[in-house]
């Protein structure tokens, strides 16, 4: 069973020898090859060049026994294609110029021919798919509407994303219209990646956990539903960072699986969602702890995954891998999953 077969079997509820494993942000700055590419090319240059994006997406697969690749891109390609000025500085995260503050700002978003401006992404998927030749599953992605809305309104990253959260209450109609526009863009982009050869797609709701359940239900969920309605029958994972309190709501998103962060107990999510795919959820910070901690935490996760004989389970981190993460820790996590049956 190769990585792609294992990933698809597990996702589709069939028998597997062990859970498939991949890591969110597995192609990032903790890898020397990525840093070398970025020393010579800007972030957007890597995204737009299929050779370079494939090179950085393949690097983690060559180093670790992973079962899936994730296409190299960023969630902020959608705001950029809508006409916002997205730049990646060093250190303090991305900046979004021309932020959304008024109805006129939203009216200025350029939705005409949006997918044409995003063609580099399905092109990168095709190129990566050809390089993989079916050895590994391939994952496409997009930002979830509320997380994209957060960057668009705030104008960059933030601890509390005060401006977008106030806008939900001060200008609910404007917020809903923006969320719907972002949802349609995400749906179109995800369908294009799936048509280009992605086996599954993940929606990253990195800031969804900032919302109270009633806010998530009123604003974030309808926009997610708008996406999954346009992706019927396709494999969709939803990651909500800090989303433990939102777990009861996620079933209404229409996603086939949920990627859990490290604060959501896997067994609790399984009890609530016996038939969904569940992915996660090792704390990325633990990869800086002694290696035995990584092995023990991963073994405990595998133990929870045995309630379904590993089917509908995907081993992963509870959030993206951090810059500076020791490669030996990544190796220890992956090897523990690979040996899942030996340690039983």
Positions marked catalytic: 25, 29, 38, 74, 151
Q: Is 74 in the site for ligand 1CP (CB under 6 A)?
A: yes
Apex CA 261: angle with CA 15 and CA 276, to 5°? 35
Q: Which of 240, 277, 246, 289 is nearest to 262 (CA)?
A: 240
| Strand, helix or coil for residue 342 | coil
Name the DSSP class of 246: G
Q: Is 25 in the site for ligand 1CP (CB under 6 A)?
A: yes
Q: Distance (Å, rounded) from C-alpha 314 to C-alpha 344?
A: 18
Using the contact rule CB under 6 A, the part of the chain among 25-33, 263-271, 284-292, 298-306 near ligand 1CP is 25-33
| 159-177 burial code (b ≥16 CB/10 A, e <16) | eebebbbebbeebeebbbe
Using the contact rule CB under 6 A, the part of the chain among 23-31, 187-195, 285-293, 304-312 near ligand 1CP is 23-31
- Nearest-10 crossing angle of helices 145-154, 162-170: 100
Contact pick of 9, 54, 206, 264 for ligand 1CP (by CB under 6 A): 206
Q: Which two tokens stand for residue 267?
A: 């067994």
Residues 87-146 binding ligand 1CP (CB under 6 A) are 88, 93-94, 141
Q: Distance (Å, rounded) from C-alpha 9 to C-alpha 60?
A: 22
Q: Distance (Å, rounded) from C-alpha 18 to C-alpha 254?
A: 26
| CB within 8 Å of 61: residues ≥ 6 apart | 69, 136
Using the contact rule CB under 6 A, the part of the chain among 22-30, 162-170, 180-188, 227-235 near ligand 1CP is 22-30
Q: Is 316 in the site for ligand 1CP (CB under 6 A)?
A: no
Q: Is 30 in the site for ligand 1CP (CB under 6 A)?
A: no
Which runs of E-coded beta strand occur in the chain? Answer: 68-70, 85-88, 94-97, 137-143, 200-205, 236-240, 257-259, 277-282, 313-317
Q: Is 314 in the site for ligand 1CP (CB under 6 A)?
A: no
Count other Cβ atoms within 10 Å, centred on residue 243. Answer: 23
Q: Is 204 in the site for ligand 1CP (CB under 6 A)?
A: yes
Count other Cβ atoms within 10 Å, centred on residue 148. Answer: 32
Q: Is 32 in the site for ligand 1CP (CB under 6 A)?
A: no
Smaller CB distance to ligand 1CP: residue 209 or 222? 209
Q: Is 274 in the site for ligand 1CP (CB under 6 A)?
A: no
Closest contact distance (angstroms) between CB of 337 and ligand 1CP is: 18
Which residue's structure tokens are 């979004």?
A: 96
Q: Is 22 in the site for ligand 1CP (CB under 6 A)?
A: no
Contact pick of 28, 99, 164, 208 for ligand 1CP (by CB under 6 A): 28
Contact pick of 58, 70, 132, 249 for ligand 1CP (by CB under 6 A): 70
Using the contact rule CB under 6 A, the part of the chain among 7-15, 27-35, 106-114, 215-223 near ligand 1CP is 27-35
Using the contact rule CB under 6 A, the part of the chain among 72-80, 102-110, 160-168, 181-189 near ligand 1CP is 72-80
Closest contact distance (angstroms) between CB of 84 and ligand 1CP is: 13
Smaller CB distance to ligand 1CP: residue 27 or 186? 27
- Total residues in contact with ligand 1CP, by rule CB under 6 A: 21
Q: Distance (Å, rounded) from C-alpha 101 to C-alpha 153?
A: 6
How many CA atoms does the CB half-sphere of 87 hold within 13 Å? 8
Residues in the site for ligand 1CP, rule: CB under 6 A?
Answer: 25-29, 38, 43, 70, 72-76, 88, 93-94, 141, 157, 204, 206, 320
């Amino acid at each position: 069973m190769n990585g792609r077969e294992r990933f698809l079997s597990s996702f589709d509820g069939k028998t597997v020898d062990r859970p498939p494993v991949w890591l969110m942000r597995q192609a990032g700055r903790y890898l020397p090859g990525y840093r070398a590419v970025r020393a010579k090319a800007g972030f957007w240059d890597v995204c737009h060049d299929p050779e370079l994006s494939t090179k950085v997406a393949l690097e983690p697969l060559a180093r670790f026994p992973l079962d899936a690749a994730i296409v190299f891109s960023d969630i902020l390609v959608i705001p950029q294609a809508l006409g916002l000025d997205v730049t990646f500085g060093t250190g303090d995260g991305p900046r979004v110029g021309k932020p959304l503050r008024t109805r006129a700002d939203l009216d200025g978003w350029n939705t005409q021919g949006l997918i044409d401006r995003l063609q580099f992404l399905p092109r990168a998927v095709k190129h990566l798919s050809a390089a993989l030749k079916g050895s590994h599953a391939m994952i496409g992605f997009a930002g979830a509407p509320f997380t994209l809305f957060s960057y668009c309104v705030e104008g960059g990253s933030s601890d509390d994303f005060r401006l977008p959260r106030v806008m939900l209450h001060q200008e609910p109609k404007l917020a809903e219209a923006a969320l719907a526009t972002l949802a349609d863009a995400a749906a179109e982009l995800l369908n294009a990646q799936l048509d280009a050869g992605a086996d599954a797609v993940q929606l990253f709701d990195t800031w969804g956990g900032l919302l109270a359940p009633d806010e998530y239900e009123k604003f974030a969920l309808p926009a997610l539903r708008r996406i999954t309605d346009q992706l019927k029958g396709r494999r969709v994972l939803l990651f909500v960072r800090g989303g433990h309190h939102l777990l009861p709501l996620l079933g209404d998103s229409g996603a086939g699986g949920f990627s859990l962060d490290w604060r959501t107990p896997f067994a609790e999510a399984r009890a609530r969602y016996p038939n969904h795919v569940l992915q996660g959820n090792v704390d990325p910070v633990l990869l800086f702890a002694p290696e035995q901690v990584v092995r023990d935490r991963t073994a405990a996760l595998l133990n929870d995954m045995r309630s379904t004989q590993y089917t509908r389970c995907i081993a992963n981190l509870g959030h993206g891998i951090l810059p500076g993460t020791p490669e030996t820790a990544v190796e220890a996590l992956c090897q523990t999953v690979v040996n899942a049956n030996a340690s039983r």
